[in-house]
């Protein structure tokens, strides 16, 4: 029977610490100082960002939460066949040829929230994608990694950082490279009032659900998420680590001050996410 020497024990513990640290959630190689009025993302700035692709075309975004699991919006994937979907991480480029750091994985299962209805009711707009193979976090040199899940009582405030491959303006072309923008979160009461005024005048119910959503928009408009950014991550840093506080969900147009971008409130769905995944985040 062999025994470990004090030195071998120390080396073993250091190896565990290094391995765990390499896959720590919310870490970015270049923490930055729906995307309208933003800028190009930096290499490795959003290692959790993925592009959802079907037949080689990017149609939505998502966020890595474990080596084999991605969070996205239910409206992006509900009713789709998993085997037709791929997710790509570790690249700034939207189209081929992708960056050398890119990793592409096939989707094996789609789990859309059972309470999502769509068609005017966007509550519960969240889904989990399970992948056929694991992302290689430790071999990615920091270009691919998970984002942290927030605490269940986390409330998004102040500036929100959104990233995506969507259009640069409403009805415009998709961005060629990953872009990012910082937009301020606005009070639920203000967002509810803005959408109530717009929809009730048309004889429609107010679509904003403060329990399941929150809003963000720059005062005066201009900076916002846009078409093609749906399902992508909206993060805030806490304790130096990025937390997935929102998922790009819906809006009216892009960058319009009267119609803020609306995001799924991830903190409300943390129990649901954990119930359908094996994130192992600590």
Q: Distance between alpha carbon 148 and the CA centroid of its chain, in Å? A: 11
* Mean pLDDT, rounded, for 198-222: 85
Residues 279, 75, 178, 267: what is their CA dihedral angle, to the nearest 10 degrees?
Answer: -40
- Segment 101-121 shows an average pLDDT of 95
Mean pLDDT of the region 127-141? 97
Q: What is the per-residue pLDDT for 50?
A: 98
Output the pLDDT for position 171: 62
Tell me how far apart the alpha carbons of residues 282 and 263 are, in angstroms, rounded to a whole number: 25
Is 33 exposed, middle or buried (CB count within 10 Å of its CB: 0-12, 13-18, 19+)?
exposed
* pLDDT at residue 157 greater than cutoff 90: no
Terminal Cα distance for the chain, rounded: 34
What pLDDT is stored for residue 279 in this prediction?
65
**pLDDT level of residue 20 (50, 70, 90 thresholds):** very low
230 as an active site residue: the answer is: yes
- List, in order of start, the domains of the chain with CATH numbers: 44-146+271-275 (2.40.10.10), 159-267 (2.40.10.10)
pLDDT value at position 33? Answer: 54
Residue 229 pLDDT class (50, 70, 90 cuts): confident
User: What is the token pair recorded at 112?
Assistant: 């859309």
Q: Which residue has the higher pLDDT, 114 or 198?
A: 114
Give 221 or 83, the one with higher predicted confidence.
83
Q: According to the model, what pLDDT value does residue 255 have?
A: 59
Question: Could you write out the DSSP letters of every residue in 52-111?
Answer: EEETTEEEEEEEEEETTEEEE-HHHHTT--GGGEEEEES-SBSSSSPPTT-EEEEEEEEE
Of 28, 163, 225, 230, catalytic: 230
Nearest alpha-carbon partner for 120 in 216, 246, 205: 205
Q: Residue 141: is its pLDDT beyond 50?
A: yes
Dump pLDDT digits (tens) for 240-252.
999 999 999 998 8
Kindly state the average pLDDT of the residues 173-198: 89
Q: Report how far apart, in Å, the C-alpha atoms of 14 and of each of 7, 22, 27, 136, 145 are.
A: 11, 12, 19, 20, 21
* 113 catalytic per annotation: no
* pLDDT at residue 239 greater than cutoff 50: yes
Average pLDDT, rounded, for the chain: 85
Whether residue 172 is predicted with pLDDT greater than 90 in this model: the reply is: no
Confidence at residue 10, expressed as pLDDT on a 0 to 100 scale: 38
pLDDT value at residue 12: 40
The pLDDT of 200-222, averaged and rounded, is 85
Q: pLDDT at residue 80 above 90? A: yes
DSSP per residue, the chain: -----HHHHHHHHHHHHHHHHHT-TT--SS-----BS-EEPPTTS-TTEEEEEETTEEEEEEEEEETTEEEE-HHHHTT--GGGEEEEES-SBSSSSPPTT-EEEEEEEEEE-TT--BTTB-TT--EEEEESS---STTTTTSS-PPBPPPTT----SEEEEEES-BSSTT-PBPSB-EEEEEEEE-HHHHHHHHHHHHHTTT------TTTEEEE--TTS--B--TT-TT-EEEEEETTEEEEEEEEEE-SSSSBTTB-EEEEEHHHHHHHHHHT------
What average pLDDT score do residues 211-228 get? 73
Choose, from 28, 66, 75, 224, the residue flagged as catalytic: 75
What's the mean pLDDT in 146-165? 92
Residue 125 designated active-site: yes
**Which is catalytic among the residues 125, 209, 224, 229?**
125
């Amino acid at each position: 029977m062999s025994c470990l020497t004090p030195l071998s024990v120390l080396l073993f513990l250091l190896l565990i610490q290094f391995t765990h640290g390499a896959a720590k959630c919310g870490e970015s190689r270049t923490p930055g100082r729906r995307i309208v009025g933003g800028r190009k993302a930096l290499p490795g700035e959003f290692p959790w960002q993925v592009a959802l692709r079907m037949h080689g075309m990017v149609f939505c975004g998502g966020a890595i939460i474990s080596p084999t699991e991605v969070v996205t919006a239910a409206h992006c994937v509900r009713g789709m066949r998993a085997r037709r979907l791929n997710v790509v991480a570790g690249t700034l480029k939207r189209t081929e040829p992708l960056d050398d750091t890119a990793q592409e994985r096939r989707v094996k299962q789609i789990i859309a929230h059972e309470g999502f209805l769509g068609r005017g009711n966007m509550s519960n707009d969240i889904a989990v994608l399970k992948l056929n193979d694991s992302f290689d976090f430790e071999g990615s040199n920091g270009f691919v990694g998970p984002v942290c899940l927030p605490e269940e009582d986390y409330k998004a405030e102040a500036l929100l950082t959104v990233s995506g491959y969507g259009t640069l303006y409403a009805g415009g072309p998709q961005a060629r490279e990953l872009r990012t923008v910082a937009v301020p979160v606005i009070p639920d009461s203000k967002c509810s009032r803005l959408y109530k005024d717009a929809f009730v005048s048309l004889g429609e119910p107010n679509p904003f659900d403060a329990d399941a959503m929150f809003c963000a928009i720059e005062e005066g408009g201009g900076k916002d998420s846009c078409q093609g950014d749906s399902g992508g991550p909206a993060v805030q840093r806490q304790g130096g680590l990025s937390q997935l506080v929102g998922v790009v969900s819906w809006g009216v147009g892009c960058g319009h001050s009267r119609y803020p971008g609306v995001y799924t409130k991830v903190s409300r769905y943390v129990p649901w996410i954990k119930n359908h995944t094996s994130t192992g985040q600590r």
